[in-house]
Structure 1
Amino acid sequence: MTGNPLLQHLEHLFQHYGYGVIGVTIMLESMGIPLPAETLLISAALYCAATHKMNITWVATAAIIGAIMGDNFGYLIGRWLGYPLLERKGGRVGLTAGRLQAGRFLFRRYGGIIVCLGRFVAILRVFVALLAGANRMPWPRFIVYNALGGICWAGGYAYAAYYLGHRITRISGPAGMTLAACGAVVALGGVLFLRRHERRLTAEVEAAARREMEQSQQEGRT
């Protein structure tokens, strides 16, 4: 076994829990529980490339199944709870009043596109299914967009990370280390960018929602 501590940790994790830990982690995150599902998926794909002790096809399959199942459970939870309870309890899992308001506006404006593309945005991925259910999005429509987004996100990330890791393992010496470091910096930069600009984006969506509401009220008076 390699002396790399990260690979040792991943090997211990996957030897004990197999592909199931990938599917379950992604499922729970999709239900609205903030977990590092994306990090685990990418790590599993890189582990496949570095050790060949897991099959990337099964990693992608477990991730896709977990994503689709979790989103459907999240949808049912959001539909059952509705906005009143989400407004009272959502803050416990990071679903703040601002995010609820932003989600309502985005679903009203873009609908199924948010379900599909929201998987690629860390902020939306955790809450998109809950918001879809709370907004009473038709379930058949949700299933179609959810499946499309889950396949593209889970399958795309898994295979992209796998082939990137495969390329890195073929490059030895300083060049390989430099390429790996650059990839890590880019990934970290993306996470920091989203966190830094979340408040600004939420404020812009909230402002747009208020303008739309005010416009509707003015039209109702006339």
Structure 2
Amino acid sequence: MHIQEWLESVPAVSVYLLVGVVIGVESLGIPLPGEIVLVSAAILAATQDHIDPVVLGACASAGAIIGDSIGYLIGRKGGQPLVDWAGRKFPKHFGPDHVAMAESKFDKWGMWAVFFGRFVALLRIFAGPLAGVLKMPYWKFLIANVLGGIVWAGGTTALIYSVGIVAEPWLKRFSWLGLVAALLFGVGSFLVMKRRAQKAAAAHEAEAPVATAAD
């Protein structure tokens, strides 16, 4: 079966559920390619009439908000031992350098770290649980979480869908290239944030001896 025919046979509800669940689980604190899935689904909506971009954006927003909220509650109950456990379980995502970067952003921006963290690959995984670990007031977290989830999910869907509509003839002819482009976009953003995390960890280690000497 040609890939275009296969894509046309995929039930819309399956796409909506997949996007909502993957983004929700990622927001909960488990490393999954939420952005890649959302971008791929938005491209799919631009080329397949049976997938509604509005419903897609709503499902993505719901997954982001619910997942982050659950992550916050887990972080609030689990505390620092949860971060330590995640570091052992997922060292490539929750290693000391990643945690140092996330904590520095939270210290600097507070609730805005939750909002803007939605747009950043690594912070998107950390935002909910770390906000709970750091005991951020829930009302502040909720406002930033809802606004960030809607703006990120809705904005990403609208942007990719609009670009997809313009490029629809090309995408329909080379459907697999659209999916590859979405994959490369997600991997690229992850690598950029990984480099930033390493720089933040280096800065954190450099500040530690100074703080110790001051004590």
Please give the alpha-carbon distance, in whole angstroms, between the structure 2 residues aligned to 1:19 and 1:189. Answer: 21
Which shows bigger deviation, 137-146 or 20-29? 20-29
SS of structure 2 residue aligned to 1:120: coil
Instruction: Kindly indicate whether the alpha-carbon contact (under 8 Å) linking 1:91 and 1:97 is maintained by their aligned counterparts in 2.
Output: no
Please give the alpha-carbon distance, in whole angstroms, between the structure 1 residues aligned to 2:189 and 2:133. Answer: 28
1:124 aligns with 2:119: no
Instruction: Kindly indicate whether the alpha-carbon contact (under 8 Å) linking 1:116 and 1:145 is maintained by their aligned counterparts in 2.
Output: yes
1:90 aligns with 2:87: yes
Instruction: Kindly indicate whether the alpha-carbon contact (under 8 Å) linking 1:116 and 1:148 is maintained by their aligned counterparts in 2.
Output: yes
- Partner deviation per Cα, 1:123-178 (whole Å, 9 max, x = no partner): 221122111111111111011111111111100111111111111125699xx86x
Give 1:27-106 correspondences, 5 Å limit: 27-93=24-90, 94-106=93-105
Give 1:144-183 correspondences, 5 Å limit: 144-170=143-169
Please give the alpha-carbon distance, in whole angstroms, between the structure 2 residues aligned to 1:104 and 1:205. Answer: 10
| Offset, 1:65 | 0.7
- Partner deviation per Cα, 1:63-86 (whole Å, 9 max, x = no partner): 101100000001111111111232
SS of structure 2 residue aligned to 1:19: helix
**Counterpart amino acid of residue 209 in structure 1:** H
Percent same amino acid among aligned pairs?
32
Alignment length, in residue pairs? Answer: 212
Residue aligning to 2:3: 5
Residue aligning to 1:143: 142
Please give the alpha-carbon distance, in whole angstroms, between the structure 2 residues aligned to 1:172 and 1:160. Answer: 16
2:197 to 182, 194, 202: 202
SS of structure 1 residue aligned to 2:65: helix
Q: Which runs of 5+ in 1 are unaligned?
A: none
Residue aligning to 2:23: 26
**Counterpart amino acid of residue 6 in structure 2:** Q
- Partner deviation per Cα, 1:11-31 (whole Å, 9 max, x = no partner): 43x356352222122111110
**Counterpart amino acid of residue 36 in structure 1:** P
Q: Which runs of 5+ in 2 are unaligned?
A: none
Please give the alpha-carbon distance, in whole angstroms, between the structure 2 residues aligned to 1:84 and 1:172. Answer: 47
Higher relative contact order structure (alpha carbons within 8 Å, sequence separation ≥ 6): 2
| Offset, 1:37 | 1.8
After superposition, the CA RMSD in angstroms is 3.0
Instruction: Kindly indicate whether the alpha-carbon contact (under 8 Å) linking 2:36 and 2:182 is maintained by their aligned counterparts in 1.
Output: no
